[in-house]
Structure 1
Amino acid sequence: MFAAYLVVTLLTSAVNGAAAVANLIGHDYPKSQADKMGVPHSWMRPLGTLLGAGALGLLAGLVVPVLGALAAAGLVLYFIGALWAHLRVGDHALGPWSVFFCLPAAALAANLAYHGLG
Protein backbone atom coordinates (compact mmCIF):
# COMPACT_ATOMS: atom_id res chain seq x y z
CA MET A 1 0.00 0.00 0.00
CA PHE A 2 2.87 2.37 0.75
CA ALA A 3 4.18 2.10 -2.82
CA ALA A 4 0.82 3.12 -4.29
CA TYR A 5 0.50 5.98 -1.82
CA LEU A 6 4.03 7.18 -2.64
CA VAL A 7 3.63 6.94 -6.42
CA VAL A 8 0.26 8.72 -6.49
CA THR A 9 1.50 11.44 -4.15
CA LEU A 10 4.72 12.05 -6.08
CA LEU A 11 2.95 12.02 -9.46
CA THR A 12 0.26 14.41 -8.26
CA SER A 13 2.86 16.71 -6.75
CA ALA A 14 4.95 16.70 -9.94
CA VAL A 15 2.00 17.40 -12.25
CA ASN A 16 0.64 20.21 -10.09
CA GLY A 17 4.12 21.61 -9.52
CA ALA A 18 4.64 21.78 -13.29
CA ALA A 19 1.27 23.49 -13.69
CA ALA A 20 2.24 25.95 -10.95
CA VAL A 21 5.48 26.81 -12.73
CA ALA A 22 3.63 27.26 -16.03
CA ASN A 23 1.24 29.71 -14.35
CA LEU A 24 3.98 31.57 -12.52
CA ILE A 25 6.23 32.07 -15.55
CA GLY A 26 3.32 33.09 -17.79
CA HIS A 27 3.47 30.16 -20.21
CA ASP A 28 1.14 30.43 -23.21
CA TYR A 29 -1.05 27.41 -22.36
CA PRO A 30 -2.36 28.67 -19.00
CA LYS A 31 -2.83 32.11 -20.57
CA SER A 32 -4.90 30.65 -23.40
CA GLN A 33 -6.97 28.68 -20.92
CA ALA A 34 -7.51 31.80 -18.82
CA ASP A 35 -8.65 33.69 -21.91
CA LYS A 36 -11.00 30.86 -22.83
CA MET A 37 -12.49 30.84 -19.30
CA GLY A 38 -12.68 34.60 -19.00
CA VAL A 39 -10.19 34.65 -16.14
CA PRO A 40 -8.01 37.78 -15.93
CA HIS A 41 -4.28 37.26 -16.45
CA SER A 42 -3.74 38.99 -13.10
CA TRP A 43 -5.06 35.81 -11.48
CA MET A 44 -2.34 33.64 -13.01
CA ARG A 45 0.21 34.14 -10.23
CA PRO A 46 -2.25 33.60 -7.35
CA LEU A 47 -3.62 30.47 -9.04
CA GLY A 48 -0.08 29.24 -9.71
CA THR A 49 0.79 29.90 -6.09
CA LEU A 50 -2.17 27.79 -4.96
CA LEU A 51 -1.09 24.94 -7.23
CA GLY A 52 2.47 25.21 -5.95
CA ALA A 53 1.30 25.22 -2.34
CA GLY A 54 -0.76 22.11 -3.04
CA ALA A 55 2.22 20.37 -4.66
CA LEU A 56 4.51 21.21 -1.74
CA GLY A 57 1.80 20.26 0.76
CA LEU A 58 1.53 16.83 -0.81
CA LEU A 59 5.27 16.35 -0.37
CA ALA A 60 5.12 17.60 3.22
CA GLY A 61 2.34 15.08 3.76
CA LEU A 62 4.85 12.29 3.35
CA VAL A 63 6.24 13.43 6.72
CA VAL A 64 3.11 14.95 8.30
CA PRO A 65 0.14 13.01 6.88
CA VAL A 66 -2.51 15.56 7.82
CA LEU A 67 -0.74 18.18 5.67
CA GLY A 68 -0.88 15.85 2.69
CA ALA A 69 -4.57 15.19 3.22
CA LEU A 70 -5.31 18.91 3.52
CA ALA A 71 -3.21 19.71 0.44
CA ALA A 72 -4.96 17.02 -1.61
CA ALA A 73 -8.37 18.23 -0.42
CA GLY A 74 -7.40 21.79 -1.31
CA LEU A 75 -6.40 20.71 -4.82
CA VAL A 76 -9.68 18.82 -5.22
CA LEU A 77 -11.54 22.01 -4.30
CA TYR A 78 -9.33 24.05 -6.66
CA PHE A 79 -10.25 21.77 -9.55
CA ILE A 80 -13.94 21.80 -8.65
CA GLY A 81 -13.65 25.57 -9.07
CA ALA A 82 -11.92 25.00 -12.41
CA LEU A 83 -14.80 22.75 -13.47
CA TRP A 84 -17.24 25.52 -12.65
CA ALA A 85 -15.16 27.95 -14.76
CA HIS A 86 -15.21 25.52 -17.70
CA LEU A 87 -18.93 24.86 -17.48
CA ARG A 88 -19.74 28.54 -16.99
CA VAL A 89 -18.38 29.35 -20.46
CA GLY A 90 -19.82 26.21 -22.07
CA ASP A 91 -16.50 24.40 -22.42
CA HIS A 92 -17.17 20.67 -22.26
CA ALA A 93 -13.71 19.52 -23.37
CA LEU A 94 -12.83 18.25 -19.91
CA GLY A 95 -10.13 15.66 -20.66
CA PRO A 96 -7.21 17.61 -19.18
CA TRP A 97 -9.38 18.80 -16.31
CA SER A 98 -10.32 15.22 -15.41
CA VAL A 99 -6.66 14.23 -15.11
CA PHE A 100 -5.90 17.21 -12.90
CA PHE A 101 -8.98 16.48 -10.77
CA CYS A 102 -8.51 12.72 -10.44
CA LEU A 103 -4.87 12.88 -9.39
CA PRO A 104 -5.43 14.84 -6.13
CA ALA A 105 -8.61 12.85 -5.48
CA ALA A 106 -6.53 9.67 -5.73
CA ALA A 107 -3.80 11.20 -3.58
CA LEU A 108 -6.37 12.08 -0.93
CA ALA A 109 -7.86 8.58 -1.02
CA ALA A 110 -4.42 6.95 -0.85
CA ASN A 111 -3.38 9.20 2.04
CA LEU A 112 -6.50 8.44 4.03
CA ALA A 113 -6.33 4.70 3.27
CA TYR A 114 -2.64 4.35 4.08
CA HIS A 115 -2.84 6.29 7.32
CA GLY A 116 -5.96 4.50 8.47
CA LEU A 117 -8.25 7.49 8.27
CA GLY A 118 -10.48 6.15 5.53
Structure 2
Amino acid sequence: MSTAAVVVTVLTALWVGFSAVSVFVGATWVVEPLAEYGVPRAAWPWLGTAKALGAAGLLAGLVVPPLGVAAGIGLVVYFTGAVVTVLRARSYRHVPFPLLYLTPVVVATALTGAA
Protein backbone atom coordinates (compact mmCIF):
# COMPACT_ATOMS: atom_id res chain seq x y z
CA MET A 1 0.00 0.00 0.00
CA SER A 2 1.35 3.42 -0.90
CA THR A 3 2.30 6.06 1.62
CA ALA A 4 -0.44 8.30 0.22
CA ALA A 5 -3.05 5.60 0.81
CA VAL A 6 -1.91 5.11 4.41
CA VAL A 7 -1.85 8.84 5.17
CA VAL A 8 -5.24 9.51 3.56
CA THR A 9 -6.79 6.50 5.28
CA VAL A 10 -5.46 7.39 8.74
CA LEU A 11 -6.52 11.04 8.42
CA THR A 12 -9.95 10.02 7.14
CA ALA A 13 -10.41 7.54 9.98
CA LEU A 14 -9.46 10.22 12.51
CA TRP A 15 -11.87 12.69 10.86
CA VAL A 16 -14.77 10.20 10.89
CA GLY A 17 -13.85 9.12 14.42
CA PHE A 18 -13.99 12.75 15.52
CA SER A 19 -17.48 12.95 14.04
CA ALA A 20 -18.51 9.83 15.97
CA VAL A 21 -17.18 11.22 19.25
CA SER A 22 -19.00 14.49 18.55
CA VAL A 23 -22.29 12.58 18.39
CA PHE A 24 -21.52 10.60 21.55
CA VAL A 25 -20.69 13.69 23.62
CA GLY A 26 -23.65 15.62 22.22
CA ALA A 27 -21.66 18.41 20.61
CA THR A 28 -24.03 21.26 19.86
CA TRP A 29 -22.84 21.72 16.27
CA VAL A 30 -23.78 18.09 15.59
CA VAL A 31 -26.92 17.40 17.60
CA GLU A 32 -28.76 20.65 16.88
CA PRO A 33 -28.76 20.02 13.11
CA LEU A 34 -29.79 16.38 13.69
CA ALA A 35 -32.80 17.60 15.64
CA GLU A 36 -33.51 20.21 12.95
CA TYR A 37 -33.47 17.50 10.26
CA GLY A 38 -35.96 15.43 12.24
CA VAL A 39 -33.56 12.60 13.10
CA PRO A 40 -34.99 10.88 16.19
CA ARG A 41 -32.82 11.23 19.29
CA ALA A 42 -32.97 7.45 19.79
CA ALA A 43 -31.08 7.03 16.49
CA TRP A 44 -28.15 9.25 17.48
CA PRO A 45 -26.15 6.59 19.37
CA TRP A 46 -26.58 4.24 16.40
CA LEU A 47 -25.30 6.92 14.03
CA GLY A 48 -22.26 7.51 16.24
CA THR A 49 -21.63 3.78 16.47
CA ALA A 50 -21.83 3.38 12.70
CA LYS A 51 -19.26 6.14 12.22
CA ALA A 52 -16.98 4.75 14.94
CA LEU A 53 -17.08 1.25 13.45
CA GLY A 54 -16.49 2.68 9.98
CA ALA A 55 -13.45 4.59 11.20
CA ALA A 56 -12.09 1.46 12.90
CA GLY A 57 -12.76 -0.52 9.74
CA LEU A 58 -10.80 1.96 7.65
CA LEU A 59 -7.83 1.51 9.98
CA ALA A 60 -8.21 -2.27 9.97
CA GLY A 61 -8.16 -2.05 6.18
CA LEU A 62 -4.52 -1.01 6.37
CA VAL A 63 -3.82 -4.61 7.41
CA VAL A 64 -6.72 -6.38 5.65
CA PRO A 65 -7.61 -4.28 2.59
CA PRO A 66 -10.99 -5.94 1.87
CA LEU A 67 -12.12 -4.94 5.36
CA GLY A 68 -11.14 -1.34 4.64
CA VAL A 69 -13.03 -1.39 1.37
CA ALA A 70 -16.12 -2.80 3.11
CA ALA A 71 -15.89 -0.13 5.83
CA GLY A 72 -15.41 2.54 3.18
CA ILE A 73 -18.46 1.37 1.26
CA GLY A 74 -20.48 1.43 4.47
CA LEU A 75 -19.33 4.97 5.21
CA VAL A 76 -20.09 6.08 1.65
CA VAL A 77 -23.64 4.78 2.10
CA TYR A 78 -23.84 6.47 5.52
CA PHE A 79 -22.68 9.89 4.34
CA THR A 80 -24.75 9.68 1.16
CA GLY A 81 -27.72 9.10 3.46
CA ALA A 82 -26.64 12.14 5.44
CA VAL A 83 -26.66 14.27 2.28
CA VAL A 84 -30.13 12.98 1.41
CA THR A 85 -31.35 13.71 4.95
CA VAL A 86 -30.07 17.28 4.76
CA LEU A 87 -31.66 17.78 1.35
CA ARG A 88 -34.99 16.33 2.50
CA ALA A 89 -34.93 18.74 5.45
CA ARG A 90 -34.37 21.57 2.93
CA SER A 91 -31.36 22.71 4.93
CA TYR A 92 -29.33 23.44 1.81
CA ARG A 93 -26.72 25.50 3.63
CA HIS A 94 -25.72 22.33 5.53
CA VAL A 95 -25.14 20.14 2.46
CA PRO A 96 -21.36 20.81 2.43
CA PHE A 97 -20.91 19.29 5.89
CA PRO A 98 -21.65 15.63 5.08
CA LEU A 99 -19.74 16.13 1.82
CA LEU A 100 -16.67 17.08 3.89
CA TYR A 101 -16.78 13.54 5.28
CA LEU A 102 -17.99 11.74 2.16
CA THR A 103 -15.20 13.01 -0.09
CA PRO A 104 -12.20 11.74 1.92
CA VAL A 105 -14.01 8.45 2.56
CA VAL A 106 -14.41 7.95 -1.19
CA VAL A 107 -10.73 8.76 -1.77
CA ALA A 108 -9.52 6.49 1.04
CA THR A 109 -11.73 3.66 -0.18
CA ALA A 110 -10.50 4.05 -3.75
CA LEU A 111 -6.88 4.07 -2.62
CA THR A 112 -7.40 1.01 -0.43
CA GLY A 113 -9.21 -0.83 -3.21
CA ALA A 114 -6.42 0.02 -5.67
CA ALA A 115 -3.78 -1.49 -3.39
Measure, in 2, the Cα distance between the counterparts of 1:83 and 1:11: 21
Q: List, as ranges, runs of 4+ consecutive aligned residues in structure 1 with deviation greater than 4 Å.
A: none
* Aligned 8 A contact 1:23 1:45 in 2: yes
Post-superposition shift, 1:60? 0.4
Amino acid at match of 1:6: V
SS in 2 for 1:26: coil
* Match in the other structure for 1:76: 76
Amino acid at match of 1:109: A
Q: Which region of structure 1 is more displaced relative to structure 2, 72-81 or 37-46?
A: 37-46
Measure, in 2, the Cα distance between the counterparts of 1:30 and 1:99: 14
Alignment partner of 1:25 is 2:16? no
Where in structure 2 are there 5+ consecutive unaligned residues?
none
* Aligned 8 A contact 1:17 1:52 in 2: yes
Alignment partner of 1:53 is 2:53? yes
* Aligned 8 A contact 1:26 1:44 in 2: no
Q: Which region of structure 1 is more displaced relative to structure 2, 35-44 or 70-79?
A: 35-44
Alignment partner of 1:104 is 2:105? yes
Paired residues in the alignment total: 114
Measure, in 2, the Cα distance between the counterparts of 1:96 and 1:89: 14
Measure, in 2, the Cα distance between the counterparts of 1:3 and 1:92: 36
* Aligned 8 A contact 2:66 2:113 in 1: no
Alignment partner of 1:40 is 2:50? no
Q: Which region of structure 1 is more displaced relative to structure 2, 36-45 or 65-74?
A: 36-45
TM-score normalised by structure 1 residue count: 0.91
Q: Which region of structure 1 is more displaced relative to structure 2, 65-74 or 32-41?
A: 32-41
Measure, in 2, the Cα distance between the counterparts of 1:58 and 1:107: 8
Amino acid at match of 2:111: A
TM-score normalised by structure 2 residue count: 0.94
